Structure 1
Amino acid sequence: MSTAKATSVTKAPKAMPQMATVYGVLFAISGGHLFNDAIQSVVPAMNPIFEKSLNLSYAQIGWIAFVLNMTSSVMQPVLGYFADRRPSPFLLPFGMLLSMAGLIGFGLSPNFYVILASVFFIGLGSAVFHPEGSRVSYMAAGPRRGLAQSIYQVGGNFGQSLAPIFTAFIFVRFGQKGALGFTVIALMGILLLLYVSNWYKSQLEIEAFKPVKRQKGTNGTPIHPKIKAAIGLLVFLVIARSWYSAGIGNFYQFYLIKDYGLTIKEAQLYVFIFMFAGVLGTFLGGPLADRFGMRNIIFLSMAGAAPLTLLLPYVSLGWVIPLFFLIGFIITSSFSVTVVYAQELVPKKIGMVSGLIVGFAFGMGAIGAVFFGTLADIFSIKFVMILCSFLPIIGVLTWLLPSDKKVRELNS
């Protein structure tokens, strides 16, 4: 991103009402998303280290994931609601500051309960960041909303995909205190988000993007019942996808260690393949949806992955990487698409609906993490992996969603 280009954009705001796509800002907010989610990924990256150093159970590891995801995700719709009513550009760097405070506590935590408190701050910082980040992406998108959301989300997914790398090359060597080094990333994120916040603030001064005051008679306009039903079904589909991701992201590494005999470092390569494939899927999913339709991509991403997820628990080690790559690519291709589809359903509540899909629905994976961790303690890790493999089948319900054309008609 050239500084000159970014400067010219902020000094020539008249381009914005023409719905031009502001790529410089999109890449900047994607970079902020990368830093935010890279900090979040420190938490699951430490799971195998804590399991040995603090002798944590699978259920306790599930509770760490629960606090992180419930804080970072479930609070997003609430914060998104207030962001819609009163956008606050400088909440972006403030959220990163909260995450940095959590990182410091996380790196120095002496026991399980202090870990939970530190994770709370990391999650809270992420919850503050995401609704405003989604608004920036929407404002800078112009006519290319699928592509813009993909650019924004791919930064976050890439940050999450770094968790296995952090485990293999930092935490295996430096242990818990390795988390303190990530305060540098947080500082870089604060500086980048200050730039984005200044651009965001300038756009709010343009009439086309000023918050519209609700007038009498418009505040109580009812949402069409079919739209309400579609939102409910979409949230349910994202929850199913999130539960699968929670099972893989938090416990598949233990499955590789216990059932395949891999070391902690070796297991991280496999998890990284899954997550990196998800980055590619996230990036390509948006442009594909712009061309072939959002509902079609949502359907293919879940139902298309189901045959592969059903095979995964039973294959030999040599087949894990190719299957993992395909599953990660396919099932994550709808990540950004579901957000854009939800925004099209309720175009006047961008922050709230983005928080609902990216936050609340995705955060329900936190409950899945506790559930799967408890089952792993009672039964086995393999039992959990088999159970997870059935979740993408729920994707067939996507055909009950209204088509892209129908959504436009409902909002016309």
Structure 2
Amino acid sequence: MSRNKSIILLSVGHACVDVYQGAVASLVPFFVAERAYGYAAVSGIVLAASLLSSVAQPLFGALTDRWAMPWLLPVSTVLGGIGIALSGVSGSYALTLAFVALSGIGVAAYHPESARIARIVSGGRHTAMGWFSLGGNIGFAAAPILVAAVMAAGGVRFSPLLVVPALVGSVLCLPVLRALATPANTNSATVGPRGTDDKASFVKLSLAVVLRSIVFVGLSAFVSLYAQQRTGGGTASGSAALFLLYLGGAAGTVLGSRLADRWDRVTVVRWSYLIAVAAVAGVVFIPGPAIYLFVALTSVSLYVPFSLQITLAQDYLPTRVGTASGLTLGLAISVGGIASPLIGVLADNTSLQTALAPLVILPALSWLMIRTLPEPTLAAVAEPASAPPLRSR
């Protein structure tokens, strides 16, 4: 199998998994409409998907650093889908939280191992990792459309239909895993990484990722409701804002990998966070339809660093690629959900605008974390435990 085909299959599989990260926020307006949940209640649902995922992701990363577990890709994909599929079946808030948490564990198990395999298949190329990341962004962008279509068919009780992407994704990854299971690829894929860990830079990068995650997940949880308030529209106007937030991420990921070919990754990430400060401020404070422009700009500026931060983390921590991937690829999405209940409680007691206003500051703090980071040199970067003899074209 060619490397290009392998990356495409992994990218589509990534999309099928990240549908379920996007589906949590996409379901929020429908839970509010059908079950009369308040801001604190819906932020608790986002927390349920995020908390276990945030804790489990580094653990799965550490495990994949010690043992190759490619079987996690199909298993975790199905688990992520089953959790979301069951979330609308019961009217019980506790069961809804449990099913969403189950999906979060599936997503947590998927990301470290999938990033490790993508690094192997891609030979560590930034552009290939960008395409892999793009798959996840497209999954995010598709979630509001998919959820809205299913909800239109019959409301949250039709949520079992949402298991379909998981079934598709679990099948698509199998050819890649079979190709890696050949003796030549297995030997190449298990060669230990070479290089020296730069733990200080990795910690700074991780802090920047956490702050970025709080901004993105906070907006994901509430931007649909906020857009309805600012434009006076209904649920369709809210779904449009969430779709732009996710779709802009796909554009930002592609743009980031292209810009990194011209400038170094740290410079691109640094400037992206500065632009994000102005973009988030526009979302929070500019009224009317202009909110959609700033939502798109926010998404692009927050996602330009996305795949670049994955490869930077892997290069800062070359002896622990699974851990680095888990803390940046998965944790970048999930950890922000921990802050969502605080945003919800503040919104219930003040206003949604007041609750979202602190998010403007966080990209500036990410910029401070990134500002002094070094760009890993060729001598310092580990050769990926990769370059199996997959054909390249």
Give the alignment's TM-score, normalised by structure 1. 0.86
For 1:204 and 1:73, the matched residues in 2 are separated by 35
Describe how 1:295-306 pairs up with structure 2 within 5 A: 295-306=266-277
Q: Which one of 22, 25, 28 corresponds to residue 44 of structure 1?
A: 25
Tell me which of 99, 105, 126 is aligned to 2:107.
126
What does residue range 401-412 of structure 1 map to in structure 2 within 5 Å? 401-405=373-377, 408-409=379-380
Q: 1:320 to 1:71 in 2, by over 3 A?
A: same
Name the amino acid aligned to 1:34.
A
Provide the C-alpha distance between the structure 2 equivalents of 1:84 and 1:53, rounded to a whole number of angstroms: 44
Offset, 1:350: 1.0
Are the aligned partners of 1:75 and 1:360 in contact in 2 as well (CA < 8 Å)? no
From 368, 371, 377, the counterpart of 2:342: 371
**Equivalent position of 2:372 in the other structure:** 400
Aligned to 1:325: 296
Q: What is the CA-CA distance between 1:347 and the residue it aligns to?
A: 1.3
Cα deviation 1:328-370 (Å, max 9, x = unaligned) = 1122100110010011111121111100112335422011211
Q: From the superposition, tell whether residues 34 and 334 of structure 1 become closer, same or farther in structure 2 (CA, over 3 Å).
A: same
Provide the residue aligned with 1:280 in structure 2: 251
- Counterpart-to-counterpart distance in 1, 2:333 and 2:17: 16
Partners of 1:302 and 1:49 in 2: CA distance: 32
Q: Secondary structure at the match of 2:68?
A: coil
Quick one: which of 153, 176, 180 aligns to 2:160? 180
**Structure 1 Cα separation of the partners of residues 207 and 199 of structure 2:** 13
Q: Once the 2 structures are TM-superposed, how far is the Cα of residue 151 of structure 1 from its aligned partner?
A: 0.8
Aligned to 2:86: 105
Q: Deviations over 1:123-159 (max 9, x none)?
A: 1111121111101110011252x11111111111111
- Report the Cα offset of residue 292 of structure 1: 0.9
- Which segment is superposed worse, 379-388 or 23-32? 379-388
2:47 is aligned to: 66
Q: Is the 8 A contact 2:57 2:331 kept in 1?
A: yes
In the alignment, structure 1 residue 87 sits paired with structure 2 residue 68: yes
**Residue 156 (str. 1) matches residue 107 (str. 2):** no
TM-score using structure 2 length: 0.90
Task: Give the drift of 1:41.
Answer: 2.3
Does the 8 Å contact 1:76/1:356 carry over to 2?
yes
Whichever residue aligns with residue 271 of structure 2, its letter is L
Q: How does 1:5-404 map to 2 (within 5 A)?
A: 6=1, 9=2, 22-142=3-123, 144=125, 146-202=126-182, 205-212=185-192, 227-397=198-368, 398-404=370-376
- 2: distance between equivalents of 1:83 and 1:284? 30
Q: What whole-Å deviation, never above 9, does each CA across 1:309-340 have from its counterpart, x for those lacking one?
A: 22332223232222222221122100110010
Partner Cα distance (2:332, 2:135) in 1: 20
Equivalent residue number for residue 19 of structure 1:
none
1:399, distance to aligned residue in structure 2 (A): 1.4
RMSD: 2.3
Code of the aligned partner of 1:392? P
| Structure 1 residues 143 and 194: alpha-carbon distance in aligned structure 2, compared to 1, 3 A threshold | closer
Distance 1:148 1:205, change over 3 A: closer
C-alpha spacing 1:98/1:274, structure 2 compared with 1 (3 Å): closer
Residues 270 and 363 of structure 1, relative CA distance in 2, 3 Å threshold: closer
Counterpart amino acid of residue 15 in structure 2: L
Describe the superposition over 1:8-39 as per-residue Cα deviations: whole angstroms up to 9, x where unpaired. x4xxxxxxxxxxxx111111011110001113
1:78-100 deviations in Å (ceiling 9; x for gaps): 11111111101111111122223
- For residues 37 and 272 of structure 1, the distance between their equivalents in structure 2, rounded to whole angstroms, comes to 14
Separation in 2, partners of 1:101, 1:401: 40
Superposition deviation, residue 248 in structure 1:
1.1
Gaps in structure 2 of 5+ consecutive residues: 384-393
Structure 1 pair 331–41 and aligned structure 2 pair: CA distance change class (3 A): closer
The structure that has the greater radius of gyration is 1
2:81 aligned partner, one-letter code: M
In the alignment, the residues of structure 2 paired with residue 326 and residue 364 of structure 1 have an alpha-carbon distance, to the nearest angstrom, of 22
Give the aligned residue type for 1:170.
V
Deviates more, 1:106-115 or 1:162-171: 162-171
Distance 1:255 1:346, change over 3 A: same
Partner of 2:214, secondary structure, is helix
| Matched-pair contact (CA < 8 Å) for 1:158–1:279 | yes
Bigger drift between 358-367 and 328-337 goes to 358-367
For 2:100, the aligned partner's letter is V
Counterparts of 1:58 and 1:252, CA distance in 2: 12
CA-CA distance at 1:296 after TM superposition? 0.7
How many residue pairs get aligned? The number is: 382
